Amino acid sequence: MKYAIVFPGQGSQSLGMLSDLSNNFSIVKDIFSEASDALDLDLWKLVQEDEVALNQTENTQPAMLAAGYATFKVLSNEVDLSPICMAGHSLGEYTALVAAKSLNYFEAVKLVRKRAELMQSAVPSGTGAMAAILGLEDVKVIEICNQYKISGVVEAVNFNSPGQVVIAGENEAVNKACELMKEAGAKRALVLPVSVPSHCSLMNQAAQEFSYSVDSVNINMGEVRVLHNVDASYAEDANEIKLKLVDQLCKPVLWTSSVQKMQQLGVEKLIELGPGKVLAALTRRIDKSLSCLAIIDTATFQSTIEEIS
């Protein structure tokens, strides 16, 4: 069976995540311990006990990286993995690069913490927003955003699946765009409970500052090819990987295109590693010929082992 490994991003976190896997595989806490050393805080305790802290962007991003990578290590220690490629949604792209041995895990933890801090400080609290638009074609969402951008920043930023696009920008512009989306026939236009308008031009300055942090990190081509969010394509060299990571901060996540690219490469199944089943659900909406397994506990781990062994 030809498969790809994918990693979820911010929004899939949950209090107590990976507790079941940690009871059966000691490497889970080892991975979190290494992240704790990098951040100088007890990340595992935070993830298990403090939901408010977990949902703060500067903690969520390294926690999700640790969770995805720990799940990958549990799986890779039990079976010889040979994916066609890897990918990750937004922050999950960093987990993919670590799993592919393109980026050192310890350095990645510090890098995503810096990413989160820059994103959080880029827009004053309460002035940015994101909203999920359901039931409109991509081109219509883009068209409406373009119509209203003269009054403020609002852009299509996450192309998650056909009929599911996330927009981001300034508060008033996003709220107004949501009204226009509904008038145009959207089934739902739901403002999301986030404080950072990710992947839009409001992150341009953050991306510029982040480029210095990315440049300071050693990145190589790794052992498995990684599809990048900004263009649903592979990088040709390590420098291009760095450029794509910087661009990702202020450009849309092309997840639909990424999954379609996997299908074109011959992928038959996706394996989602990390908390939740968000990417598994999106896969079914993008291409019904593809299936997606999600490892979230020991039971789903065992069933995945049986399928790919």
pLDDT tens digit sequence for 130-158: 999 999 999 999 999 998 777 799 999 99
Backbone dihedral angles phi then psi of residue 86, each to the nearest 5 degrees: -130, 160
Residue 153, SS3 per DSSP? coil
Q: What is the mean pLDDT of residues 196-207?
A: 96
Q: What is the mean pLDDT of residues 264-273?
A: 96
pLDDT at 309 over 80: no
Q: Which residue has the tokens 């927009």?
A: 167
pLDDT tens digit sequence for 210-240: 999 999 999 999 999 999 999 999 999 999 9
Residues with a known catalytic role = 90, 199
pLDDT tens digit sequence for 101-122: 999 999 999 999 999 999 999 9
The CA-atom distances, in angstroms, between 184 and each of 129, 141, 150, 159 are 20, 9, 19, 18
pLDDT at 293 over 80: yes
| Full set of structural domains in the chain with CATH | 3-122+202-308 (3.40.366.10), 128-194 (3.30.70.250)
Give me the helix-helix angle, 204-215 and 105-122, nearest 10°.
160
Within the chain, residue ranges assigned H as helices are: 19-24, 27-39, 43-49, 51-54, 57-76, 92-99, 105-122, 138-148, 171-183, 204-215, 238-248, 255-264, 278-286, 298-308
Closest alpha carbon to 169 in 199, 135, 190, 147: 199
Return left, alpha or beta for 269; rule: phi > 0 is left, psi -120 to 50 is alpha, else beta: beta
Strand 154-161 to 226-227 pairing? unpaired
Q: pLDDT category, 195, cuts 50, 70, 90?
A: confident
pLDDT at 20 over 90: yes
